[in-house]
Structure 1
């Protein structure tokens, strides 16, 4: 060990002025805050159909989802939703408006979902998707959706389809993202 390397040791404690137990470095006092991750995505519309992606990665490989994923540092939620559509469906999209914000404490996530539309006609599976499709409402594989929040977003979208002014949605009553 060189002279610039310090031994650090963390201890669970409630820091002064805080209300939650956290990992605190006993050497320097650094507090390791573990906070929820932000996921952002979109319901992408094109010619009366919705873009769905069949997952090529865990969790829920082989199940259908909306293009969505974790935000990266230095990007806005809208930029992250557009990037995820490119990564998962090789699709360029235009964000139209906010649809919903979901909180899923079980997996420490906040999910921000937008309404968007394809910018052009091109889409194809990206590296995180086995397949992609444009589906009409009746073609959505409801029994094969990857996550409860995908169903929430689709059903909430259906309730305001064609409406231009509505308040963003949140978790349906009593729903917190259990599978």
Structure 2
């Protein structure tokens, strides 16, 4: 983390200084030099789903925005204030893959939680089984501006070298390993620095 990441107080606009707060905290924080407000920095949550068909194929989105435009990912993005983890994951799935909960996918169980401390993020993915009706009618189109296309991939067809993020690769590998074993579990890990 940089010596001081927040330079000015969000309350009064005065400069901050990196120091131990007066409240007994044991970590150095950016503290306002005028009003004393402690500016905490916490990890961002990335939430998404792993949509999958009854035969074990997974739905991936080809990114149409930077970073990593043109590469493949699971539908996911930053959680918004006022959302639950699952609610944010389903919103991102709707925005990026045009898959609506209850209409195209069934909201499923928590599947993977991956800490990415080097960028201050935690990535959380839920299972999202695709509904038979959706598969019979075909996957919806008309994605938002973030997605070029979606496609279902079996493990052998997955675009492994063209995956946008390591957390997506790990989540997919866990899914395919679990699928072969006949039991979908919950996975928690961290990316090494």
Equivalent in the alignment of 2:183: 163
Cα distance in 1 for residues equivalent to 2:140 and 2:189? 29
Distance 1:7 1:107, change over 3 A: closer
CA RMSD between the two structures: 1.8
**Take 1:70 and 1:77, find their aligned partners in 2: how far apart are those partners?**
10
Deviation at 1:95, TM superposition (A): 1.8
- C-alpha distance in 2 between matches for 1:7 and 1:73: 23
CA 1:90 to 1:9, structure 2 compared with 1: closer, same or farther past 3 Å?
A: same
Per the alignment, residue 36 of structure 2 pairs with: 29
So what's the TM-score if we normalise by structure 2?
A: 0.81
Q: Which runs of 4+ in 1 moved over 6 A?
A: none
Structure 2 counterpart of 1:101, from 113, 135, 146: 113
CA distance, structure 2, for counterparts of residue 145 and residue 13 of structure 1: 40
For the residue of structure 1 that corresponds to 2:171, the secondary structure is helix
The answer for the alignment partner of 2:149 in structure 1 is 131
**Match of residue 66 from structure 1:** 74
Greater shift in the superposed pair: 113-122 or 90-99: 113-122
Q: How many residue pairs end up in the alignment?
A: 169
Match of 2:8 in 1: none
Q: How does 1:85-96 map to 2 (within 5 A)?
A: 85-92=93-100, 93-96=105-108
> Aligned in 2, Cα 1:107/1:6: closer, same or farther, shift over 3 Å?
closer
Match of 2:14 in 1: 8
Kindly indicate whether the alpha-carbon contact (under 8 Å) linking 1:12 and 1:23 is maintained by their aligned counterparts in 2: yes
Structure 2: state its 5+ residue gaps.
Answer: 1-10
Deviation digits for residues 9-42 of structure 1 (CA, Å, limit 9, x no counterpart): 2111111311222111111111111110001111
1: distance between equivalents of 2:83 and 2:157? 33
The structural deviation recorded for 1:154 is 0.5
- State the Cα distance separating 1:94 from its structure 2 match: 2.1
Distance (Å, rounded) in 2 between the aligned partners of 1:57 and 1:19: 40
Which stretches in structure 1 are left out of the alignment for 5+ residues? none
Structure 2 CA distance, aligned partners of 1:36 and 1:42?
20
Which sits farther off after the overlay, 10-19 or 70-79?
Answer: 10-19
